[in-house]
Structure 1
Amino acid sequence: MWPRYVAPAHLDDRALHTTLAQMADECGNETFALQTEIAITRADNRAALAAYSAPTLILNGGCDGICTPQHHLAAAEAAPHARWITLPDSGHFLPLEAPLTVADALRNWIKETL
């Protein structure tokens, strides 16, 4: 599963792996099972996005094999006021893989939006 979660550049990042393993351990099996159930039974909420009128930032990792860029594109196309940004060298865990890039993207979006 690891290669589906992180960008190729982070496959050998032991610190990232350790951090994510600790986070998973802290959540426990019950939370993992609940999160998995929510993910596989999640309804298509694009209609709700279409009705949402506030500015929206959709940020994803280009190497995310779990929530792929195509999933994010569908959300961005549904949301009338969305800005979609893909970070090409990141996977599923954007804030951990590219914290400064995520911070810059958020900062720039806030400046442009407010």
Structure 2
Amino acid sequence: MAARWWLLPGTLCTADVFRPVLDILNVPPQDCRTVMLDRPSVEDYAGDLAAVEPQDIVLGFSLGAILAAHHVDRIRARAVVLLAANPFADMPEKRAARLEQLAAVSSRGARPVMSALWPAMVCPAASGNPLIGERIVAMAEAAAAHLPAQTELALTRPGAEPMLAATRAPVLFVTGREDKAAPYERAERAAGIGAHTLILIEGAGHFLPLEAPQACAEAIAGFLKEKEIRPC
């Protein structure tokens, strides 16, 4: 059986966030299975991820990567790739901003809110790219109904340190050097917990799979080759 790619997108995201990278890796949509973040607790996804097979690859972005990290000791995957991940318990000082974002999207809609926010979430070079901006805004509109659950999930996650220490699955962290939402220092710390692999993408911010898809694809392909894992 060919490997499936399990896609876990982030807050106000859909699986479209991965498509530029997957296209470069020649992974067709029919080989992908998406786990939408539409439930408020880490354990709500145990059943979904229990279906991951030993030949499969798990690919998470942002909150989706955080969720994958919380299950990484139970996932039977050939590889787990975490993009823009901060897999520690949420910092208390982020609570107000998360709740404000939820209130703003609920009252004004996802498009105006994300239209104002996205330029600060990417690197300066990408902030003037309207194609990246439109993809981010369109994903936010498509996923807006899940924001209450995603907000609760982000606020209540316990931290994945024990799982990262216990897993035997090969784990790759890929993080943008200019990521302000999930600073690369956090990924460095997380990767060090279990001697996992970390690759920093220069000139990329939080939405690195859209900002630097070629670099992300090369990082993933190199990791899979190093671990002797066929990508598909």
> Is contact 1:59–1:86 with CA below 8 Å preserved after alignment?
yes
Which residue number in structure 1 is paired with residue 137 of structure 2?
Answer: 21
Q: Does residue 1:34 correspond to 2:149, yes or no?
A: yes
Q: In structure 2, how many angstroms separate the alpha carbons of the residues matched to 1:85 and 1:21?
A: 27
Aligned length: 112
Q: In structure 1, how many angstroms separate the alpha carbons of the residues matched to 2:120 and 2:160?
A: 24
SS in structure 2 of the partner of residue 57 of structure 1: strand
TM superposition shift of 1:36: 2.1
TM superposition shift of 1:42: 1.5
For each residue in 1:23-81, what CA deviation from the matched residue of structure 2 results, as whole angstroms up to 9, or x when unmatched?
Answer: 000112x312222221222111111100112211011111111111121112101123x
Taking structure 1 as the reference length, the TM-score comes to: 0.90
> Is contact 1:57–1:109 with CA below 8 Å preserved after alignment?
yes
Which residue number in structure 1 is paired with residue 205 of structure 2?
Answer: 91
Larger radius of gyration: 2
Structure 2 unmatched runs, 5+: 1-116
Structure 1 unmatched runs, 5+: none
For each residue in 1:66-105, what CA deviation from the matched residue of structure 2 results, as whole angstroms up to 9, or x when unmatched?
Answer: 111121112101123x110110211111211111111111
Q: In structure 2, how many angstroms separate the alpha carbons of the residues matched to 1:2 and 1:24?
A: 10
Higher-helix-fraction structure: 1
> Is contact 1:16–1:96 with CA below 8 Å preserved after alignment?
yes
Which residue number in structure 2 is paired with residue 111 of structure 1?
Answer: 225
Which residue number in structure 2 is paired with residue 47 of structure 1?
Answer: 162
> Is contact 2:204–2:211 with CA below 8 Å preserved after alignment?
yes
> Is contact 1:4–1:64 with CA below 8 Å preserved after alignment?
no
TM superposition shift of 1:3: 4.4
Q: 2:171 aligns with which of 33, 42, 56?
A: 56
